[in-house]
Amino acid sequence: MVLDAPRTPLREAELPDPVPASGEVLLRVRACSVCRTDLHVADGELARPKLPLVLGHQIVGAIVGGAGHLGEGTRVGVPWLGWTCGECGYCRRGRENLCLRARFTGYDVDGGFAELAVADARYCFPLPEGDPDLQAAPLLCAGLIGYRSLRMAGDAERLGLYGFGAAAHIVVQVARFEGRQVFGFVRPGDDEARRFALDMGCHWAGFSDQRPPEELDAAILFAPAGELVVTALRAVGRGGTVVCGGIHMSDIPAFPYEALWGERTIRSVANLTRQDAREFLALAPRVPVRTEVRAYPLASAGAALDDLRGGRVRGAAVLVVDGP
Ligand SMILES: [Zn+2]
Ligand SMILES: [Zn+2]
């Protein structure tokens, strides 16, 4: 499925088979989960995608060719971080998520809304056994970015999650495993999402314009709405952290300094490191993380994006690719 230009429908196309370069593997895609970032790219909210582009950065596939230490037939996951330079100051200090020359899957290079994909073998990760392809796919961004966001929330005991989609429904499981209490916030009036947040293990769930019954120690925002930064800041106590987990957000409105005072922190999370991937994929089976997915055939990628935009997906949307 090809994106020719932002704000145009995805087009079904027969592309030449991708050829792996040195150090790359060729993958037979089995499933690819749909992320809000895919939506931001399709909607033209992220500035510089390669065009035309195959979206998708939560790929589960089997290695069918190319070099690498992983071996043919291995089932691997491919995340958003597709390549880093290894030389810039960020890379050298172990912060490859901030690499100035990083390339991202389904943005700078073609991704997984396809039958075949190529990926740098160093950025492919063997997946926990036991998780079917469909259930494993959302671990690769919703899970990974959620995990990095959770680490940025520090040792918060009472954690708020604003926007209860794919990432939050994974984070709540990890947070509970770590002994935290989770407070879920959903779109005002969306009772079904509120019930889903409770079903997934939230201690309390309410609408994002409501205050939680207790003061929070930290909050993670997955909803791309800038005004929620201020809402979350008012929900956390002194010393609390508000973590913005998304890649794009509407403008944050002005707010009085008093809302930030008391050593409250606002921070963003950008991308992921390979270390995040190794840690999270080792942790997920211990929790164990169970993802709730809605499957779409590859050709319905556009419908999956529309459902995500409309808030109609419970858990994660995943494209299923039927190979030959
Ligand atoms: Zn993503
Ligand atoms: Zn770098």
User: Quick check: 143 and 280 in contact, CB under 8 A?
Assistant: yes
- Whole-number Cα distances in Å, 107 to 60, 247, 252, 273: 17, 13, 25, 17
Higher pLDDT, 206 or 47: 206
Distance 214 CA to ligand 1 centre (A): 31
Distance 22 CA to ligand 2 centre (A): 19
Tell me the mean pLDDT in the region 157-178.
97
pLDDT digits (tens, 9 = 90+) for 33-47: 999 999 999 999 998
Instruction: Looking at the CA of 103, name the nearest ligand.
Output: 2
Instruction: Looking at the CA of 145, name the nearest ligand.
Output: 1
Mean pLDDT, all residues of the chain: 96
Instruction: Looking at the CA of 92, name the nearest ligand.
Output: 2
pLDDT of res. 89: 97
Distance 120 CA to ligand 2 centre (A): 15
| Contacts by residues 288-292 (CB-CB < 8 Å, ≥ 24 positions apart) | 289/139, 289/143, 289/170, 289/173, 289/174, 290/135, 290/173, 291/135, 291/136, 291/138, 291/139, 291/142, 291/143, 291/166, 291/169, 291/170, 291/315, 291/316, 292/169, 292/196, 292/200, 292/316
**Which residues, including other chains, have CB under 8 Å from residue 248's CB and lie 6 or more apart?**
37, 40, 45, 46, 224
Distance 24 CA to ligand 2 centre (A): 19
- Residue 162's SS3 state is strand
Instruction: Looking at the CA of 138, name the nearest ligand.
Output: 1
Whole-structure pTM value: 0.95
Angle at 251 between CA 217 and CA 222, to 5 degrees: 45
pLDDT digits (tens, 9 = 90+) for 250-274: 999 999 999 999 999 999 999 999 9
Distance 216 CA to ligand 1 centre (A): 26
Instruction: Looking at the CA of 41, name the nearest ligand.
Output: 1
**Quick check: 69 pLDDT over 80?**
no
Residue 108 main-chain phi, psi, to 5 deg: -90, -30
> How many helices (H) and strands (E) in the chain?
9, 15
- Please state which of the ranges 56-70, 93-107, 186-200, 211-225 shows the lowest mean pLDDT: 56-70
pLDDT digits (tens, 9 = 90+) for 301-310: 999 999 999 9
Euclidean distance between CA atoms 247 and 249, whole angstroms: 7
Distance 102 CA to ligand 2 centre (A): 6
Distance 212 CA to ligand 1 centre (A): 28
**Which residues, including other chains, have CB under 8 Å from residue 138's CB and lie 6 or more apart?**
33, 58, 166, 170, 291, 293, 315, 316, 318
pLDDT of res. 323: 62
Token representation of residue 314: 């419970």
Q: HSE (CB half, 13 Å, CA atoms) of 67?
A: 6
**Quick check: 212 pLDDT over 90?**
yes
Euclidean distance between CA atoms 309 and 110, whole angstroms: 22
**Quick check: 286 pLDDT over 60?**
yes
Percent of the chain with pLDDT over 70: 99
Q: Are strands 265-268 and 293-297 parallel, antiparallel or unpaired?
A: unpaired
pLDDT digits (tens, 9 = 90+) for 144-159: 999 999 999 999 999 9
Instruction: Looking at the CA of 273, name the nearest ligand.
Output: 2
Instruction: Looking at the CA of 95, name the nearest ligand.
Output: 2
Instruction: Find residue 216's DSSP bridge partners.
Output: 236
pLDDT of res. 129: 85
Instruction: Looking at the CA of 99, name the nearest ligand.
Output: 2
CB-count burial class (<10 Å; 0-12, 13-18, 19+) for 234: middle
Tell me the mean pLDDT in the region 93-110.
97
Distance 98 CA to ligand 2 centre (A): 7
H or E element at residue 266: strand 265-268
Tell me the mean pLDDT in the region 21-36.
96
Distance 83 CA to ligand 2 centre (A): 9
Distance 81 CA to ligand 2 centre (A): 12
Instruction: Looking at the CA of 87, name the nearest ligand.
Output: 2
Euclidean distance between CA atoms 120 and 280, whole angstroms: 20
